[in-house]
């Protein structure tokens, strides 16, 4: 009886641990590119520069504000931000962040991911139709669910890069009454890499044993 209760309790604890965990997060409250949770570094791609400005949480909070994007009709998917954080020991990897488009920023971004820090694959494109109000100077909550390819990778990373408007040959401003400009800004906050902790082989066997004991008790 005691063995059954002990094993079952341990299995329940393991099941709880298997729920999605924050692996690495950048909240930028310390106004640094280092991760606020876990171990990781944010950086800039293609000549983009950054400052720290008001975050998604409003006055008194901070986010990474980026500018110096490519000139119109040049550099598609070459400028933006990069986040590196290991997913070793985790599967079911998801990405999430808040992203603010200024009126003259590109309305479209492409997300790329890597398992080795060298080779990058496009995994998602986010775009919207610009309007006279409500689409520029606006925060968007973004999330990406990745395939198993990106699980358990010590060199995992992803990029968010400004992209041409889908089907077009250039950038489209985020507000319909504005003109795209390289000085437009994309602001990033609460950038998060999450996943499910993979149980050690012995722990997985323990869960199976707990299930077997429970079935025998019901028989």
pLDDT tens-digit map of 162-199:
999 999 999 999 999 999 999 999 999 999 999 999 99
Query: Residue 200 — pLDDT band, cuts 50, 70, 90?
Result: confident
Give the pLDDT score at 216.
54
- State how far the Cα of 138 lies from the Cα of 100, in Å rounded to an integer: 5
Give the Cβ contact number of residue 30 at 10 Å. Answer: 11
* pTM for this predicted structure: 0.86
Please, is 13 exposed, middle or buried when counting C-beta atoms within 10 Å of its C-beta (0-12, 13-18, 19+)?
exposed
Strands (E), 27-115: 41-45, 49-55, 58-67, 80-84, 90-101, 108-114
Query: Residue 202 — pLDDT band, cuts 50, 70, 90?
Result: low
Query: Residue 18 — pLDDT band, cuts 50, 70, 90?
Result: low
**pLDDT tens digits, one per residue of 32-66:** 999 999 999 999 999 999 999 999 999 999 999 99
Residue 13 in this model has a pLDDT that exceeds 70: no
Answer with the residue of higher pLDDT: 29 or 15.
29
Residue 206 in this model has a pLDDT that exceeds 50: no
Upper half-sphere CA count for residue 37 (Cβ side, 13 Å): 12
Do residues 110 and 71 make contact, with C-beta atoms less than 8 angstroms apart?
Answer: no
């Amino acid at each position: 009886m005691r063995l059954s209760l002990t094993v079952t309790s341990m299995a329940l604890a393991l099941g709880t641990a298997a729920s999605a965990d924050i692996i690495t997060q950048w909240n930028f409250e310390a106004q640094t590119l280092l991760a606020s949770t876990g171990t990781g570094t944010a950086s800039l791609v293609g000549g983009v520069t950054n400052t720290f400005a008001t975050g998604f949480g409003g006055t008194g909070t901070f986010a990474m504000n980026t500018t110096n994007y490519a000139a119109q009709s040049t550099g598609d998917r070459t400028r933006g931000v990069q986040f590196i954080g290991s997913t070793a020991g985790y599967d079911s990897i998801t990405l999430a962040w808040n992203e603010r488009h200024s009126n003259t920023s590109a309305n479209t971004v492409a997300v790329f991911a890597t398992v080795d820090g060298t080779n990058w694959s496009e995994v998602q494109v986010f775009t919207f139709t610009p309007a006279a109000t409500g689409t520029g100077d606006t925060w968007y909550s973004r999330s990406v669910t990745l395939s198993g390819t990106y699980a358990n990778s010590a060199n995992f990373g992803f990029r968010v890069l400004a992209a041409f408007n889908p089907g077009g040959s250039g950038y489209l401003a985020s507000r319909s009454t504005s003109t795209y400009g390289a000085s437009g800004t994309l602001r990033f906050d609460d950038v998060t890499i999450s996943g499910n902790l993979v149980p050690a082989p012995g722990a997985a066997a323990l869960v199976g044993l707990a299930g077997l004991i429970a079935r025998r008790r019901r028989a």
